[in-house]
Amino acid sequence: MQDVILAKSLWVLAIVGTAFFIYSHLAWAETPRIWVTHSLEKVFPETEKPQNAKTSIELKLGRNDTEDAQIIVRMPKGVSAGGARFTPSDLTGPKGATLSKDCISAWWVWYTYVLNNPNGNTDPKTYLRKAPAFFPDAFLEQKEIRIRDQWTQPLWVSVHVPKGAKPGTYTGTFAVDMTVGGEPMHFDIPVTVTVWPFTLPDEFHLHHTEWFTFWSLADYYRIPVWSEEFWVWVERVAVDMARHKQDMILTPLASLVRIKQTAPNEFSFDFSNLDRWVETFKKAGVTWIEGSHVAGRGAGWEGPFVWNRFAVEGVDTAALSEEAFEPYVEALLKAVHAHLKERGWAERYVQHIADEPVKANESSWTYRAVKVREWMPGVPIIDAVMLDGLKGYIDIRVPQIQEITPEFERVPGESLWSYVCLSPKGIYPNRFVDYPLIRNRILFWLSWSMRLEGFLHWGYNYWQTWPEVPVAVDVSPWLDATGASIYVQDRSPLPAGDPFIVYPGRNSICSSMRWEDVRNGMEDFEYLYLLEQAITKSHSRLSRSVQQEAQRLLARVRDELAPSPVRHTHDAELLLSIREQAGELLARIAKTTGVNR
């Protein structure tokens, strides 16, 4: 009897062992699932491969243009990947022409953990999914990563076509290699790039500024301000901004200019840091200077504006009254203006007064605007504003985009921009991490259809912990996209991603899906601008059918895709299709007229 029991036990163990071996073998034998999607889709850690997923990259773009795609890697249950890395190839084109693999960049995408959806977004259709949750955003520096099991990992791929590239179709591969179950695996993703015979200009026709805080940069990296290491990082910022079509840099005058009082009403100025700052950004391609705010709220949101105090060697400026401090502001701005003219920079300079004036403090804003005009004659005054006044005092009016309704009064002689920040929310476009990417990119289509001349956002790199957080902690932007503002009492947390659109890498400024989306939006604006200019200025050389086709396409953008901030498309495929149609038309026009070839 014992022998029978022992035999049955061994039989059961054999079956269990065999089943375990087969299960393990099948699990490890299951390969990663790899597919391709466009640049406006956000996938999540649990996203499965769609049945009709693409498996090749196909891009169409002009010269001096960049387009993007995503390669998605999904690891099965029980299977992880080590050493996941990528290698682009050269792309072979017409008559032996090539696009070097150096034109192709790629980054693994980091999932940012979002703690809260924007306050006020009660309709779940206004964000991608309920927080807390992971959302794809930041780009990693390292080219090789591990991918855990049951995890979907995006890889962002960008192709930039140089100005001198020959038009035509280029093909090659993009390789992804990894180690799975101790065995190497290799995947080749076919790449096809169609280069259209037109070239985007180096300078775009929509101004663009994202406010850079050098204090946050120095604080994060623990480096002395104005040290050589500091300037290395400033140069990296400048290059990054230029690549993303930012043409204007917020310039903190009082921090960059050293001021010393030498006698009553007499001063000396050291412009060496200001000069290096401007030269660094201009060299990279950021050619407009945006003078920082000279005033701020003295007390509360509706409180009057007062002059921002700054250091003057040998003077306790904090002890001075407003009236007594004003001559120091006058001396600084007059000296800066004279120096700008001497260096040949005054023609590309604009000046802020104070941020977001409202009706209650309008008079204190206009008083200072009059003074600045007197001290810096001919310099345009720019500010983000929250009222419809200031007529005759402001040259570049920047309201929040939802305020620019069909009834919005446009003031003759003023340039009209738009901005977004922690508002608007709900149905309006914005760049929050938990929003669909199209609601970021559509801002630039709206800029074209609404005849705006610039776009502003306050948060390029505010990585620091929000100042009202009740405990002194350093919060990594890689782990909290709100500056820990969720811990602040008596105010709503900042929407995720509002304080910054880039991340601090160990050796570089790390981009994000949202930041590449901004660049794409700027390029979209330029497509629409160039198409409109072509049919306006080159109509005599165009066939009637091409003119009509272009007019219909542009009318569709105005009427259907981006008529207003409350009425714009949420269809990413439609937007990409219209962009491609605009590119095809520009290519046909370039062949016919030679414009932009």
Residue 466 confidence (pLDDT): 82
Give the chain's count of helices (H) and strands (E): 11, 27
State the Cα–Cα distance between residues 86 and 275, nearest whole angstrom: 41
Domain boundaries along the sequence of the chain: 34-197, 247-388, 530-593
Q: Nearest to residue 576, comparing CAs of 13, 45, 64, 70?
A: 70
Q: What tokens appear for 216 in the block? A: 């946050």
Q: Buried b vs exposed e over 484-500: b needs ≥16 C-beta within 10 Å?
A: bbebbeeeebbbbbbbb
Peptide bond into 357 cis (omega under 30): no
**CA angle 245-250-252, nearest 5°?**
155
| pLDDT of 396 above 80 | yes
Dihedral Cα 191, 204, 389, 419, nearest 10 deg:
20
Q: Mean pLDDT of all residues in the chain?
A: 92
Residue 1's pLDDT is what?
Answer: 46
pTM: 0.93
Predicted local confidence at residue 539, as pLDDT: 65
Q: Is the pLDDT of residue 10 over 50?
A: no
Average pLDDT over residues 55-79: 97
d(CA 58, CA 169): 10
User: What would the mean pLDDT of 50-58 be, rounded to a whole number?
Assistant: 96
Q: What's the confidence (pLDDT) of residue 434?
A: 96
pLDDT band at 597; cut points 50, 70, 90: low
Q: Which residue has the higher pLDDT, 487 or 374?
A: 374
Share of the chain above pLDDT 90, in %: 84
Determine which helix (DSSP H) or strand (DSSP E) holds 106, and give its type and residue range. Answer: strand 104-114
d(CA 105, CA 158): 5
Distance CA 72, CA 27 (A): 20
Query: Quick one: pLDDT at residue 13?
Result: 43
170-184: per-residue pLDDT in tens? Answer: 999 999 999 998 999
* pLDDT score recorded for residue 265: 85
- Which pLDDT band, with edges at 50, 70 and 90, does 536 fall under? confident
The alpha-carbon radius of gyration of the chain (Å, integer) is 28
484 backbone dihedrals φ, ψ, rounded to 5°: 60, 20
Q: Which has the closest alpha carbon to 484: 500, 504, 468?
A: 468
Phi, psi of 389 (to 5 degrees): -85, -150
Mean pLDDT of 224-246: 98
Confidence of residue 229 (pLDDT cuts 50, 70, 90): very high
**457 neighbors 421 (Cβ within 8 angstroms):** yes
Distance CA 333, CA 379 (A): 11
- Angle (CA) 41 43 47, round 5°: 135
Q: Is the pLDDT of residue 537 over 70?
A: yes
Q: Over the stretch 278-310, which tens digit does the pLDDT of each residue have?
A: 999 999 999 999 999 999 999 899 999 999 999
pLDDT in tens, 74-111: 999 999 999 999 999 999 999 999 999 999 999 999 99
Give the per-residue pLDDT at 19: 43
**d(C-alpha 121, C-alpha 549), whole Å:** 39
Check if the beta carbon of residue 475 is closer than 8 Å to that of residue 230: no
pLDDT in tens, 313-369: 989 999 999 999 999 999 999 999 999 999 999 999 999 999 999 999 999 999 999
CATH superfamily of 34-197: Immunoglobulins (2.60.40.10)
pLDDT (0 to 100) of residue 3? 52
Q: What pLDDT is attached to residue 175?
A: 97
Contacts of 449 (CB under 8 A, 6+ apart): 557, 558, 561, 562, 563
Q: How far apart are CA 85 and CA 180, in angstroms?
A: 13
pLDDT in tens, 410-446: 999 999 999 999 999 999 999 999 999 999 999 999 9
The identity of residue 436, as a single letter, is P
| pLDDT for position 125 | 86
Pairing type for strands 65-74 and 33-38 reads antiparallel
Summarised one tens digit per residue, pLDDT across range 185-213 is 999 999 999 999 999 999 999 999 999 99
Helix, strand, or coil here: 146?
strand
Q: Are 78 and 28 in contact (CB under 8 A)?
A: yes
Question: What CA–CA distance (Å, rounded) separates 273 from 448?
Answer: 36
Q: How far apart are CA 249 and CA 209, in angstroms?
A: 6
Query: Does 4 have pLDDT greater than 50?
Result: no
